[in-house]
């Protein structure tokens, strides 16, 4: 509870990025639990969202040919604007620690892999708050694909074709931004969780001033 008239401390935006099948959602769950146990007000979220544009994007997974690359980019950007306005900005203003499964670096890597210019994509995303930390999950493409098909029993959707994923991984590998930290996602789950916590904890306010 905030007993003073001071506004709550600004929250933190931590995004989880990387190719499909690298364990981002599992880690978000584990890290959220660990931070909540330490008293932090954590919000978990993802892109594409479950909002109106996110639902359109998910529907496209099945029939990707139905829209052009340009239209696809506009949908991801519209979804992000909605996410920023409805959830991310208000949560930051009320001191929440946001863990977000994918953000604009995914647009750079995935829509960039479709042939769009990466710098142009990043420029189109300047409206979106810059993350305090982007954790880039790195693992061999073959491992990601194996985890999606074998472990999850899912078939690769149109965004997840092996060849495309190799191009996506190459763009992620080439991104050079000050807030990116890379982790080896092929390590055991608990090791990865502890590494992520060691990246996040130094960036957080003390829990008592975080509400
Ligand atoms: P996921 O819900 O399993 O993470 O799947 C989301 C898919 O959408 C994933 O294959 C990456 C893709 N994607 C883009 O192509 N561009 C984007 O901006 C985002 C956020 C996701």
Instruction: State yes or no: pLDDT of 33 exceeds 70.
Output: yes
In a domain, 41, yes or no: yes
Cα–ligand 1 centroid distance for 53 (angstroms)? 13
Sign of CA dihedral 109, 111, 114, 117: negative
Atom number of ligand 1 nearest to Cα 47:
20
pLDDT digits (tens, 9 = 90+) for 190-200: 999 999 999 99
- Out of 57, 59, 102, 148, mutate this one to test ligand 1's pocket (max ligand atoms within 8 Å of CB): namely 102
Cα–ligand 1 centroid distance for 8 (angstroms)? 32
Query: What is the DSSP code (8-state) at residue 124?
Result: H
In a domain, 210, yes or no: no
Assess contact for 98 and 91: CB atoms under 8 A: yes
Q: Is the CB of 159 under 6 A from ligand 1?
A: yes
In a domain, 142, yes or no: yes
Atom number of ligand 1 nearest to Cα 159:
10
**CATH number, residue 109:** 3.40.50.300
Assess contact for 155 and 167: CB atoms under 8 A: no
Between 90 and 3, name the one with better pLDDT: 90
Whole-structure pTM value: 0.92
Q: What is the pLDDT at residue 148?
A: 80
In a domain, 150, yes or no: yes
Q: What is the pLDDT at residue 211?
A: 47
In a domain, 70, yes or no: yes
Of 3-17, 36-50, 114-128, 185-199, the poorest mean pLDDT is in: 3-17
Instruction: State yes or no: pLDDT of 65 exceeds 70.
Output: no
pLDDT band at 1 (very low <50, low <70, confident <90, very high): very low
How many domains does the chain contain in total?
A: 1
In a domain, 200, yes or no: yes
Cα–ligand 1 centroid distance for 58 (angstroms)? 9
What range does the domain containing 87 cover? Answer: 12-204
In a domain, 2, yes or no: no
pLDDT digits (tens, 9 = 90+) for 133-164: 999 999 998 888 888 877 766 666 655 578 88
In a domain, 152, yes or no: yes
% of the chain with per-residue pLDDT over 70: 88
Q: Is the CB of 106 under 6 A from ligand 1?
A: yes
Rounded mean pLDDT of the chain?
91
Cα–ligand 1 centroid distance for 170 (angstroms)? 16
């Amino acid at each position: 509870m905030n007993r003073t008239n001071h506004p709550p401390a600004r929250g933190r935006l931590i995004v989880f990025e990387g190719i499909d099948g690298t364990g981002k959602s599992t880690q978000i769950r584990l890290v959220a639990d660990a931070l909540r146990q330490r008293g932090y007000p954590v919000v978990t979220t993802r892109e594409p969202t479950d909002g109106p544009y996110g639902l359109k994007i998910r529907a496209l997974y099945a029939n990707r040919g139905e829209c052009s690359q340009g239209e696809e980019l506009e949908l991801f950007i519209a979804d992000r604007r909605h996410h920023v306005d409805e959830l991310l900005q208000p949560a930051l203003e009320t001191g929440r620690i946001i863990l977000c499964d994918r953000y604009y670096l995914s647009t750079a890597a995935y829509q960039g892999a479709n042939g769009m210019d990466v710098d142009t994509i990043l420029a189109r995303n300047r409206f979106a708050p810059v993350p305090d930390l982007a954790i880039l999950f790195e693992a061999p493409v073959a491992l990601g694909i194996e985890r999606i098909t074998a472990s999850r029993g899912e078939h690769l959707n149109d965004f997840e074709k092996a060849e495309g994923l190799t191009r996506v991984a190459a763009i992620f590998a080439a991104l050079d931004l000050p807030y990116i930290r890379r982790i080896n996602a092929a390590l055991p789950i608990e090791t990865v969780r502890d590494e992520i916590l060691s990246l996040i904890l130094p960036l957080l306010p003390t829990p008592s001033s975080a509400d």
